[in-house]
Structure 1
Amino acid sequence: MTGRIVIADDHPLMRAAVRASVEKVWPDSEIVEVADAASARREAEAGNVELLSLDLHMTDSAGLQTLLDLRRDFPAMPIVIVSASEEPRVRRSAKELGASAFIPKTASLPVMREALAAVREGDIWFPDDGTGAEVEETAPDDDVARLARLTPAQRRILALVAQGLLNKQIAHEMQISEATVKAHMTAIFRRLGVVNRTQAVLIAKQLDIAAPPAAEH
């Protein structure tokens, strides 16, 4: 049975561009369009997803954290990032977290099709600084690796810390006790190898999680 292709992006025009490229590379596949990360997860849970095209920033998602969570829960599902970010750091982090490709939203349709075709053949595809060529292999990013060891609840708390919220405010936002927040903060510091909130926030920027994702209790 032919697998489904899920396109997750909150901009209809961008979904249309990705769809046009997907239809060239996977002409016989069922294409499902969604506008948020929660819907993308539901489609993944439904199974038979051959590829997920994922925008990093939608109404309920915040940067690479969504990629990290989906890779953890659906390790066999290829995920292609389609992003407006032009930062090499974001591309490197996406690669480290297991994305199959990173396609800038400024890419032409031929380049987008090239990237998707590479993924269909089981390869990975990442651009350089704008020429459309693939990047060379890079060493694993220690900060990203440490962030990947955090639990979903810990990453949620770290996102709120990055917003400047105090422990009491975080407890209210997540509907947990302040003591639980403090315990999570201790674990976060230990796993990240830092000693204060400022250092933790600096590392958190590697996942671009200044805005919180949907609540996880």
Structure 2
Amino acid sequence: MRIILADDHPLFRAALRHAVTQVWESAEVVETNSATTAREALEDAGADGAEALLLDLHMEDSSGLSVLMDLRQDFPALPIAIVSGSEEPRVVAAARQLGAAAFIPKSSSLESLREALAAVKEGDLWFPASEGQEDEDLVRIASLTPAQRRILGFVRRGLLNKQIAYELGISEATVKAHVTAIFRKLGVGNRTQVVLLAAKLDVDQPATDPATA
């Protein structure tokens, strides 16, 4: 039984390890400090080797809910508990909507942390009482294919189709086809609206309604 911790603060990882070993007494705890190393640990564990992942949303190579969405896509059976310094109701609701098993604020007491982990162990969900409304835009974002999400990331950075094609080693026509599909799936008409809608995956800023752009 293996539990993977993904957090770039050693002291907080130590606190998580302490709580995990109280809930999963015989578990092997694997500590990672980035989304990349967490993914590597999951791949090393194999299809059924990880019992759960405790995931911070803010690390060196990730900042937002995109990492949750990608990991849920690639490891659909894995319970992922978000452990975050952000306690905004919209972020909590978005994490639940994107498939998290739990959302544990970093301000939680050790007792609450153990309670949340025990729920995850039993296959239940655990979320704070203050939770925002579900967002249909997130449903549309989650419907994008992995290739479309990669291209969405480049669009958010302001790259043109030609630049994206160069970065990915594909034709500009292929990029254009993906961008057209992204527009259609997200229900938007231009790149600015795409960027504003995709900002709902961020946790540091309030999301803007793309219809007002």
Query: Any conservation in 2 of the 1:159–1:209 contact (CA below 8 Å)?
Result: no
| Residue 78 of structure 2 is aligned to residue 77 of structure 1 | yes
- Retained in 1: the 8 A contact 2:86–2:203? no
Report the identity percentage: 63
Matched residue, 2:149: 155
TM-score calculated relative to the size of structure 1: 0.84
SS of the equivalent of 1:150 reads coil
1:191 to 175, 182, 185: 185
Which of 42, 45, 54 is the equivalent residue of 1:44? 42
Which stretch has the larger CA shift, 114-123 or 170-179?
170-179
How far residue 209 of structure 1 moved from its aligned partner, in angstroms, is 9.0
Aligned to 1:57: 58
Alpha-carbon deviation of 1:62?
3.9
Compare relative contact order (CA 8 Å, sep 6+) and give the higher one, 1 or 2.
1
Tell me the CA shift for residue 36 of structure 1: 1.5
Runs of 5+ unmatched residues, structure 2: 205-213
Q: Are 2:83 and 2:105, in contact at CA under 8 Å, matched by a contact in 1?
A: yes
Distance in 2 between residues matched to 1:178 and 1:150, nearest whole Å: 19
Q: Which amino acid aligns with 1:121?
A: E
Distance of aligned partners of 1:36 and 1:90 in 2 relative to their CA distance in 1, 3 Å threshold: same
Distance 2:182 2:203 in 1: 15
1:6-63 per-position Cα deviation (integer Å, ceiling 9, x unaligned)? 0011221221121111111112111000111122222222231111001112222342
> Taking structure 2 as the reference length, what is the TM-score of the superposition?
0.85
Structure 1 position 139, deviation (Å): 6.3
CA distance in 1, matches of 2:201, 2:10: 25
Residue 145 of structure 1 pairs with residue 146 of structure 2: no
What SS does the corresponding residue of 1:80 show, helix, strand or coil? strand
> CA–CA distance in 2 between the matches of 1:76 and 1:156?
22
- The amino acid of 1:82's aligned partner reads V
Q: List aligned pairs for 1:22-33, cutoff 5 A.
A: 22-33=20-31
Correspondence 1:174 to 2:175: no
Q: Distance in 2 between matches of 1:51 and 1:167?
A: 38
